[in-house]
Structure 1
Amino acid sequence: MGITAVVFDMDGVLIDSEPVWELVRRGYVAEKGGRWLPDTQQRLMGMSTGEWSTYLSGELGVGEPPETVAREVIERMSERYAEGVPVLPGAVEAVQRICEHWPLGLASSSPRALIDTVLGRTGLIEYFSVTFSTEEVDRGKPAPDVYLTVATFLRQRPSDCAAVEDSSNGLRSAHAAGMRVIAAPRPEYPPASDALGLAAKVISGLDELTPGLITG
Structure 2
Amino acid sequence: MSIAAVVFDMDGVLIDSEPVWEKVRKDYVTVNGGRWQPDSQQRMMGMSTVEWSSYLADELGVAQPADKVAADVIDLMADEYAQHLPLLPGAVDAVRRCADSWKLGLASSSPASLIALVLEKAGLMESFAVVLSTEEVGRGKPAPDVYLTVAQRLGVDPKNCAAVEDSTNGLRSAHAAGMRVIAVPRPEFPASAEALAHAEAVLDGLDQLTADVITG
User: Which bin holds the TM-score, normalised by the shorter protein?
Assistant: over 0.9
Question: Match for 2:162: what amino acid?
Answer: A
Question: Match for 2:43: what amino acid?
Answer: R
TM-score (norm 1): 0.99
- The residue correspondences of 1:149-164 to structure 2 (distance < 5 A) are 149-164=149-164
Give the number of aligned pairs.
216
Q: Secondary structure at the match of 2:118?
A: helix
1:122-162 deviation per Cα after TM superposition (whole angstroms, max 9, x unaligned): 10101000000000002000000000000000000001000
Q: For the residues of structure 2 that align with 1:116 and 1:175, how far apart are their CA atoms?
A: 26
1:23 is aligned to 23
* Runs of 4+ displaced beyond 2 Å: none
Q: For the residues of structure 2 that align with 1:129 and 1:39, how far apart are their CA atoms?
A: 35
Q: For the residues of structure 2 that align with 1:195 and 1:54, how far apart are their CA atoms?
A: 25
The root-mean-square deviation of aligned C-alpha atoms, in Å, is: 0.6
* Gaps in structure 1 of 5+ consecutive residues: none
Q: For the residues of structure 2 that align with 1:210 and 1:21, how far apart are their CA atoms?
A: 29
Q: Secondary structure at the match of 2:59?
A: coil
Matched, 1:202 2:202: yes
Tell me by how many angstroms 1:61 deviates. Answer: 0.5
1:101 is aligned to 101
1:70 is aligned to 70
Tell me by how many angstroms 1:50 deviates. Answer: 0.1
- The residue correspondences of 1:32-43 to structure 2 (distance < 5 A) are 32-43=32-43
1:44-86 deviation per Cα after TM superposition (whole angstroms, max 9, x unaligned): 1000000000000010000211000000000000000111211
- The residue correspondences of 1:2-151 to structure 2 (distance < 5 A) are 2-151=2-151
* Gaps in structure 2 of 5+ consecutive residues: none
Question: Match for 2:155: what amino acid?
Answer: R
Q: For the residues of structure 2 that align with 1:115 and 1:97, how far apart are their CA atoms?
A: 20
Tell me by how many angstroms 1:168 deviates. Answer: 0.4
Question: Match for 2:99: what amino acid?
Answer: C
Q: For the residues of structure 1 that align with 2:96 and 2:172, how far apart are their CA atoms?
A: 26
TM-score (norm 2): 0.99
Q: Secondary structure at the match of 2:80?
A: helix
